[in-house]
Amino acid sequence: MIPTPDHTTRAPNGPRHKPDARNRPIGHVPRSLPATGATDLDYCSEMGTPNESAPAWPICPKRGHVTMRNKLGELTTGRCLSISCYACIWARALRTGAAIGLAKPQWFITLTQVGSGWSQIRARMKHLNKTLNRARVSMESAWHVEANPQATGHHVHMWAHGRGVTADSLSAAAASADMGHVVHVEHVRQRQHDAEVRTLAYGMKACQPPASDLTALWPEAREYLDVNGGHLVHTSRGFWRDGTGQLLSGVREATTLARAAQGRGEWVLHDAA
Ligand SMILES: [Zn+2]
């Protein structure tokens, strides 16, 4: 596995680039969210990355008229954060990716030929997990279905903790669930001496807006929600945890902690006293 460095926000040998929003003239509202920009991703796969030089994000049609600021004085437009909003689905995906990064998963797994639609894929994933349990493989996972318009079928990207997780055990369980027997298992290397919480959004890359002048969800994002039953991520019990491994109540708590650890969050209305 070759983690892709965060090269778009870090000079080759220099410090992390932080745009100094404090010097911006009052009233200047950047047309993207500086705190969770698409250039801030940390992809954990050698299978290619989405377009990191994507144009600015669309303005949210519901909340884009308000101006928000954070503790650093950075300004941005408001967001409704609904996954059905063409301007906000990627912001939600990045928050979810940060929550996944906080959990420090050990494994990045790709399952192939998982099925043709959400109900079939969901049933097969249940079967796969039961088969793994019977084989005494314990695994807590967060996973996404990725649509694949080519003849190779949909696949599942999965971040997991577990014991007994091997390509053989997963391949056998996948075949038992009528999925493809081709399974990729990569060990996720944690950065030593680095408390940084990564944003593991690779499996949701279809949710990255392809342009800034959108007026509706684009086909790939619509298909993503369709094959995922209207969700960004699916998790098994025990996946969400904080940086020390303590179990958390769910994605909401995990997202809040992840954003705090990343030095984000706490956006307030700029006009509020
Ligand atoms: Zn929105």
Tens of pLDDT along 44-77?
322 233 444 445 678 899 998 988 887 778 788 8
Measured distance CA(171)–CA(16) in Å, rounded = 41
Q: Are 221 and 207 in contact (CB under 8 A)?
A: yes
Stretch 2-17: mean pLDDT, rounded?
36
How remote is the CA of residue 50 from the centroid of ligand 1, in Å?
22
pTM of the model: 0.79
Strands 138-146 and 67-69, by their bridges, are: unpaired
Measured distance CA(42)–CA(6) in Å, rounded = 6
pLDDT digit string, tens, across residues 225-239? 999 999 999 999 999
Measured distance CA(168)–CA(185) in Å, rounded = 10
How remote is the CA of residue 90 from the centroid of ligand 1, in Å?
10
Q: Is the pLDDT of residue 16 over 50?
A: no
How remote is the CA of residue 5 from the centroid of ligand 1, in Å?
29
Measured distance CA(151)–CA(153) in Å, rounded = 5
How remote is the CA of residue 198 from the centroid of ligand 1, in Å?
24
Strands 155-163 and 268-269, by their bridges, are: unpaired
Strand order in the sheet with 234-235: 183-187, 107-111, 155-163, 138-146, 234-235
| pLDDT, averaged across the chain | 79
How remote is the CA of residue 67 from the centroid of ligand 1, in Å?
14
How remote is the CA of residue 42 from the centroid of ligand 1, in Å?
23
Measured distance CA(158)–CA(185) in Å, rounded = 9
Set out the domains of the chain in order of their start, with CATH numbers.
21-103+193-269 (no CATH), 107-187 (3.30.70.260)
Cα distances from 92 to residues 131, 145, 146, 186, 205, in angstroms, run 32, 16, 17, 25, 12
